[in-house]
Amino acid sequence: MKDYMANYCFNVDDIVGEHDDFGVSIDFDGNLVLLSEKKEKTRYVHIIFHFLDGEIKKIYLPKVKNSYTYAQPMDDNWLLVSSRTDYEDELNATIYDTYGNFLEKFSLDDAIEDVQTTKSSNIWVSYFDENMDSGLSCFNNKGQLSFKFNEFVGQTNKQLPYIADCYALNVTSDETVFIYYYSDFPLVKLTNNSFEIIKNIPIKGSSAIAIHEDYALFEHGYGQKGKMHLYSMRNKSLKNFNLLNKIGKVLNYDYAVGRGSKLYLIKDKDVYLLNLEDFLNKLC
């Protein structure tokens, strides 16, 4: 399979200006969300950059004592989440309005791998291996638990394997969620309390996936830095290829984030996009 040139989006410095750290995520409509962070003495200053219809909407947040890892829209407001907590039941999720005013706080538990909200304001949270009890959970907009994967496994008579570490989450709609997790790395589709297991995925250790129709696009995984893996869930076939950067060289990206059909790839502070739907159209 031929190499493919990724779409160069921007350099973070050109968007954010002075900052200490940043995070990239995708909202329920496929729009990019960039969260910047700067430490000022003992406090953190965060700005949300929401990419909408060719424009960038900025949401300025008040100074806080803890660093935020994730930002996601919820209703007409914003959910900010810290991935780690210092003590049990710490309130690590905060909702702000679009003017940066505090609305409420609640807990989403510790050791968070990813957070993705839906149009109906459900909050899907995946966890890494320091929180094996949860694996994957869903909360409502008040932070009340509505779904816990490991309890759901029991309801399926353990047909589903438990999650030790949820490597990748892709909430494609209000009804459908894909997860890919350690240790066997199945790709599991959850839909309205039903499930489908795609076993024997020939990629191990990928931390981001894009989904379109019957295809899943996996980022590099273990020991294959810079590679991309296109997997047909229908035919159980795999195609591998390299991504190219803006000057035509192999893009050895640092990490990727995925949701819906989109994968954003980050190399240093350069952000690239690969849209699986567009990619498949070019293959036809």
| Res 145: pLDDT | 97
Assess contact for 166 and 136: CB atoms under 8 A: yes
| Res 236: pLDDT | 95
| Res 260: pLDDT | 98
Residue 198: CA count within 13 A, CB half-sphere:
21
Closest listed residue to residue 127, CA positions, set 139, 112, 142? 112
| Res 15: pLDDT | 98
Radius of gyration of the chain (CA): 18
| Res 7: pLDDT | 97
Collapse the DSSP code of 53 into the 3-class scheme (helix H, G, I; strand E, B; otherwise coil) and give the result.
Answer: coil
Closest listed residue to residue 5, CA positions, set 244, 220, 235? 244
Q: For the whole model, what pTM was predicted?
A: 0.97
Domains and CATH numbers, the chain: 4-283 (2.120.10.30)
| Res 89: pLDDT | 81
Q: Sign of the C-alpha dihedral, residues 114, 34, 4, 215?
A: positive
| Res 197: pLDDT | 96
Mean pLDDT, 10 residues at a time, the chain of 284 residues: 93 97 98 98 97 96 97 96 90 97 97 97 97 92 96 91 96 96 96 93 96 97 92 96 95 97 98 97 83
| Res 2: pLDDT | 85
**CB under 8 Å to 257, separation ≥6 — which residues?**
24, 25, 26, 208, 263, 264, 266
Collapse the DSSP code of 71 into the 3-class scheme (helix H, G, I; strand E, B; otherwise coil) and give the result.
Answer: strand
Tens-digit pLDDT profile for residues 206-241: 999 999 999 999 999 998 888 999 999 999 999 999
| Res 70: pLDDT | 98
Pinpoint the alpha helices (H) of 26-135: none
Tens-digit pLDDT profile for residues 93-124: 999 999 999 999 999 999 999 999 999 999 99
Collapse the DSSP code of 196 into the 3-class scheme (helix H, G, I; strand E, B; otherwise coil) and give the result.
Answer: strand
